[in-house]
Amino acid sequence: MQCAHDSRGNSVPSILLHLQRRLYDQGGLATEGIFRVAADGAQEQRVRDHLDLAGATPEDDAGVDVHCLAGLIKAWFRELPGGLLGALPEEEVARCASEEEAGRLCEKLEPAKAALLDWAVQLMADVASEEGRNRMGSRNVAMVFAPNMTQEVDPLTALKYTVQVMNFLNLLIERALRQRRQQHNKQKLLQPN
């Protein structure tokens, strides 16, 4: 799988970076219900087929809906063998009660999955930072991503664990937003008046 580096130095599959760039360029962060509203199934399949053949979305097709792009990002995680968070002990995810605990738990992931999770959390934080326009706060974003981050076979176990993953993701998103605010405040202090 071809990878490239994001702005934080994470090695991420190029296809995800491409979908993210298109999503941002087309105003997806400001779109109400982004990542929650389902895309048109036919369009999503057509774009998926194009991605499989060409490795990119149809550049000449400005009609690719932002919900389609968002849906394809979630589908990528949903179809990841073993799930992104499958290596984390479920009981530790369930006990996670603070941003610090969530951060420490992420350190248990292998480097490639840790980088991918960091990229995904930053994407979710970008969405949550636009809550005033898209109505997708950190909890809402965590809720729509959580079912895509693990692969449970038993439906009842999957439902129960999804709630725990949602809480875990919410902690990570809130941590990312807090770190951004701190960085912003630090930069403001360093600027001359």
Q: What is the pLDDT of residues 69-113, one digit of tens each?
A: 999 999 999 999 999 999 999 999 999 999 999 999 999 999 999
Q: What is the pLDDT of residue 174?
A: 98
DSSP string, the chain: --EEE-TTS-EEEHHHHHHHHHHHHTTGGGSTTTTTSPPPHHHHHHHHHHHHHHSS--TT-TT--HHHHHHHHHHHHHTSTT-TTTTS-HHHHHH--SHHHHHHHHTTS-HHHHHHHHHHHHHHHHHHTTHHHH---HHHHHHHHGGGS---SSHHHHHHHHHHHHHHHHHHHHHHHHHHHHHHHHHHHHS--
User: What is the extent of the structural domain holding 116?
Assistant: 3-190
Measured in degrees and rounded to the nearest 5, phi and psi for residue 155 equal: -60, -40
d(CA 41, CA 88) in angstroms, rounded, equals 32
Judge whether residue 21 has pLDDT over 90: yes
pTM given for the model: 0.93
Q: How many domains does the chain have?
A: 1
- Considering only residues 61 and 81, tell me which one the structure prediction assigns the higher pLDDT: 81
Question: What is the CATH classification number for the domain harbouring 169?
Answer: 1.10.555.10
Judge whether residue 62 has pLDDT over 80: no
